[in-house]
Amino acid sequence: MGSRQALDDFLAEAEELLEKLRQDLAQFGDEIESGEINPDLINGIFRDAHSIKGVAGMFGFDDIAELAHRLESLLDHLRLGKISPNGILLDLLFETIEGLGRLTRGKATDSDFTIDISAYVQRIEALISGSGSCEGVSLMALDLDPSLLNVLTEYEEHRLKFNLGQGALLLLASVAFPLDSFDTDLSELTSEFKHIGEVISTLPGAANDDPSLLAFRILLASKVPLETLAERVEFSDCQFTVIAEATTEASPECEISPGPGGEEIAAPGATEDTSLRSVSHSVRVDIGKLDILMNIVGELGLVKGSIAQVATDLTQAGQPLSRDLEKAVHALDRRLVELQKAVMDVRMVPVRQLFDKMNRVVRRMARELGKNVELSTFGADTEFDKLIAEELADPLLHIMRNSLDHGIEPSSERLAAGKPETGRIELRATQRGNHVVLDISDDGKGIDPDVLRQKGIERGLVDPAAQLTRQDLFNLLFTPGFSTRDEVSEYSGRGVGMDVVKNNISAMSGMIDIESQPGQGTRISLTLPITLAIIKALVVHIQQRDYAIPLTSVLETLLLEPGMIQTIEGQEVIELRNQTLPLLRLNQLFALDETTSTAGEFVVVVGFSDRRLGIVVDELRGQQDVVIKSLGQALSFVKGVAGAADLGNQRTVLVLDVSSLINDTLRGDGSLNV
Amino acid sequence: MKKILVTEDSAAMRGLIVSTLEAMECFEIIEAGNGFEALRTLPREKVDLVITDINMPDINGLELVNFCRSNPQYQQTPLIIISTERSERDRKKGLALGADAYLIKPFQPEELQQLVRRLLH
């Protein structure tokens, strides 16, 4: 198993595991100080060390495997309660992980790299040799189905004994879920249980009468009495069996050595008090609940706006106390901003999850296509809204497939072209202000703009005489049904694709750009907002109506002066700093009146980088936070509108979809009448 | 083509197992990153062999073995458990529950291939 690809996979995973170990250890340190130690955290740390060992062993990296083995052994003693958590142990854990980090980094450049690990090994052994045993509690006395005991791992048995020693109430919850949704149902139930105690193990059941249901038994140490549990609606589907009653006096505590020279810092559950307070530090929440929170925050903002208006009116009317009201509104505003930020933070997920998914897909596809491809990712810690991460998965997958299938050439072709045999695909995420830019680049055969032009002419999409820029030609790829390939591929299909990708990205108020050099590769850039839910918008007034334009896409606003507008090929434009800026009149787009109005006082310049557009408006109303609501499926065909938003005072406005307006205008789509 | 379900929560380890099996070029491999995914896969695909790690969060490998052995549909499906040398007790439990064979990490690719060949002849 020595291929470079496999080695890179190992190194990437080892680096990631080590990083996670560092974070978890820092958390563990905090928990040692607070005396509330979460057993799931320790078990997670143990399992990560275990993974590093397993994989390193397969690669023949004996030094990494050996050190990870010692680390695992130390952690095994810790999780089984044989040694107590303290500062000395924590330091040793941190140092050992640094040792593993040095080894891993060394192997990345030279697989023979090694360091002397004997000092680590000695210190670990010294700590373990002083350890005691915590098998004082017997499970035999329990009224426990032997079939249940048989499937518990040693660690789970330990947690059972530990909780028994603490005099906890031990329960077996029986529940059945439909086959097609059991995993979400079960994880929701489990996370509820984790609020009120510890889930020791989850056991899938044997066949039952109803084949559409899957039964589970959940072994649980509860901190609340059975009556309280049975009353809660979350647990109404569960049947509880008591395995051990709660006792007020804990069984005699087992002897745990603090280790040589270790100052004792509250062993796990050393007092009943600490054990009762230990709670899980993370909660899994349905994204729908966060959406509701986000909407409430948005609506609170609207309410605040109304109150502020009243305060201003009162001040103008010379009412006493109105100053105080204004001050209070100000304070409310600041708190609201904090609240909004906090809720937003909860929704953020690192792009890493998406990258990992792509990594697996690329590996599998490359294998099936018989191509050598290396995927490298950068900026995996960049965060964006969970909803965007979800929505992005499919379009991203499609782009990756295109790269692998059409972009990266077979090895023979690559060698003949003087390229390295292994193709490269790079995924890079960077945050730019309120946007995340995802670049997907490959070093494949690229796209030839001349071929695109030819295809465009064949399909009647391009006037043979027209002067088109490279960008115009690449944009042809987003035309429905446009494909440069004649054969159908199992992966990318034919013709289905980039137009759908583009629609998906636009639906998230994102932008997509393609740049390609024939023979050298293709780069696709996705520019996405960090969050969808609340945006700052510029409210504008056109022909008695208000519209909102997302502020993130507004570059500047200009006063329109007589004589500025010129007409080139039927398109109204203005000259802006030596560049030609096409203009769009919404009254024409939305057919607000029959006559072409030349009224309009301002131009709002929108767009990203070199793709810009000026929207002519009568009035600029100001900036406001808005919560975008979808128009729903029924109106999804309406072009140029991203959704509707409530401005407060019962005023609803349409939010413009800047990206589609730009594309349609720049392409001269007939439906826009511009 | 016979189907093998590989349940292992470490992605790199799973990748190694999968590539080892794929090198045999006669199986379709289905991957599961945890016990839930395995439970979801079993009724949908007719799996001919299950390979599972023991130490996994929520639903551990022993529970998966027990689940297969107590459901008539999977009673005859061969099962391989993978563990470390430390977890001897867990390994014994797995065999007692009805696993057909075990592998101890780290193992040589040939060991896994031989075992699979033996169980699926």
Check: CB of residue A32 under 8 Å from CB of residue A87: yes
Tell me: pLDDT of A625 over 90.
Answer: no
A205·B16 Cβ contact <8 A:
no
Q: Which of B19, B40, B63 sits opposite A151 (nearest CB)?
A: B63
- Separation of first and last alpha carbons in chain B: 13
Cβ partners under 8 Å of residue A643, min gap 6: A628, A629, A630, A631, A654, A655
State pLDDT tens for residues A44-53: 898 888 888 8
Cβ partners under 8 Å of residue B57, min gap 6: A43, A44, A47, B9, B34
Q: Stretch A349-371: mean pLDDT, rounded? A: 82
Cα distance between residue A393 and residue A378, in whole Å: 17
Q: Beta strand pairing status for A197-204 and A213-222?
A: antiparallel
Count structural domains, chain B: 1
E strands in A99-196: 169-178
ipTM at complex level: 0.78
Check: CB of residue A258 under 8 Å from CB of residue A75: no
Per DSSP, chain A holds a count of helices (H) and strands (E) of: 20, 22
Give the pLDDT score at B38.
Answer: 92
Question: Which chain B residues contact residue A156 at CB under 8 A?
Answer: 60
State pLDDT tens for residues A161-199: 888 877 788 888 888 888 778 888 888 888 888 888 889
Cα distance between residue B92 and residue A349, in whole Å: 40
B105·A10 Cβ contact <8 A:
no
> What is the pTM (predicted TM-score) of this model?
0.44
A47·B20 Cβ contact <8 A:
no
Q: Beta strand pairing status for A373-378 and A423-432?
A: parallel
- b/e map of A602-632 (b: 16 or more CB within 10 Å)? bbbbbbbeebbbbbbbbebbeebbbbbeebe
Give the pLDDT score at A267.
Answer: 36
Question: Which chain B residues contact residue A183 at CB under 8 A?
Answer: 36-37, 39-40
Check: CB of residue A167 under 8 Å from CB of residue A222: no
Question: Which chain A residues contact residue B59 at CB under 8 A?
Answer: 202-204
Check: CB of residue A623 under 8 Å from CB of residue A536: yes
B78/chain A closest Cα distance in angstroms: 17
Q: Which of helix, strand or coil describes residue A408? A: coil
Residue A649: pLDDT band with limits 50, 70, 90:
low
Cα distance between residue A661 and residue A75, in whole Å: 58
A636 interface with B at CB cutoff 8 Å = no
Give the pLDDT score at A131.
Answer: 64
Q: Which of helix, strand or coil describes residue A304? A: helix
DSSP lists the bridge partners of residue A237 as: none
E strands in A230-370: 239-244, 348-350
User: Residue B19 sits in a domain of what CATH number?
Assistant: 3.40.50.2300
Instruction: Tell me the residues of chain A between 198 and 227 that have a Cβ less than 8 Å away from chain B.
Output: 201-207, 214
Q: Stretch A76-96: mean pLDDT, rounded? A: 86
DSSP lists the bridge partners of residue A216 as: A175, A204
Give the pLDDT score at A207.
Answer: 55
Question: Which chain A residues contact residue B39 at CB under 8 A?
Answer: 182-183, 204, 214
* Cα-only R_g, chain B: 13
Residue A490: pLDDT band with limits 50, 70, 90:
very low
Mutate to test the interface with B, among A42, A48, A51 (most CBs of B within 10 A): A51
Question: Which chain A residues contact residue B12 at CB under 8 A?
Answer: 9-10, 13-14, 51, 55
State pLDDT tens for residues A454-480: 888 888 888 888 788 888 888 888 877
Q: Which of A54, A76, A206 sits opposite B71 (nearest CB)?
A: A206
Tell me: pLDDT of B110 over 60.
Answer: yes
Cα distance between residue A466 and residue B7, in whole Å: 58
Q: Which of A153, A203, A360 sits opposite B54 (nearest CB)?
A: A153
Tell me: pLDDT of A614 over 80.
Answer: yes
A400 interface with B at CB cutoff 8 Å = no
Give the pLDDT score at A137.
Answer: 59
Cα distance between residue A333 and residue A307, in whole Å: 11
CB atoms within 10 A of CB A37: 22
Give the pLDDT score at A132.
Answer: 57
Residue A304: pLDDT band with limits 50, 70, 90:
confident
Give the pLDDT score at A100.
Answer: 92
- Separation of first and last alpha carbons in chain A: 61
A150·B19 Cβ contact <8 A:
no
Q: Which two tokens stand for residue A136?
A: 């004082």
What is the rounded average pLDDT for all residues in chain A? 79
Q: Beta strand pairing status for A602-608 and A641-646?
A: unpaired
Segment A557-566 long-range contacts (CB within 8 Å, at least 24 positions apart):
A557/A602, A557/A603, A557/A604, A557/A605, A557/A620, A558/A602, A558/A603, A558/A605, A558/A614, A559/A601, A559/A602, A560/A600, A560/A601, A560/A602, A560/A603, A560/A616, A565/A598
Residue A253: pLDDT band with limits 50, 70, 90:
very low
B66·A65 Cβ contact <8 A:
no
B66·A151 Cβ contact <8 A:
yes
Question: Which chain B residues contact residue A356 at CB under 8 A?
Answer: 11
What is the rounded average pLDDT for all residues in chain B? 89
Cα A176 to chain centroid, rounded? 31
Check: CB of residue A449 under 8 Å from CB of residue A473: yes
State pLDDT tens for residues A504-563: 887 777 888 888 888 899 999 998 887 765 677 899 988 888 899 988 788 889 988 878
Residue A566, sorted as left (phi over 0), alpha (psi -120 to 50) or beta, turns out to be: beta
B12·A179 Cβ contact <8 A:
no
Which domain range does residue B21 map to? 2-120
Question: Which chain B residues contact residue A53 at CB under 8 A?
Answer: 84, 105
Give the pLDDT score at A212.
Answer: 79
Cα torsion through A173, A176, A182, A185, rounded to 10: -50
Which residue reads 């799996």 in tokens?
Answer: B47
Give the pLDDT score at A484.
Answer: 57
Least confident of A156-170, A418-432, B63-77: A156-170
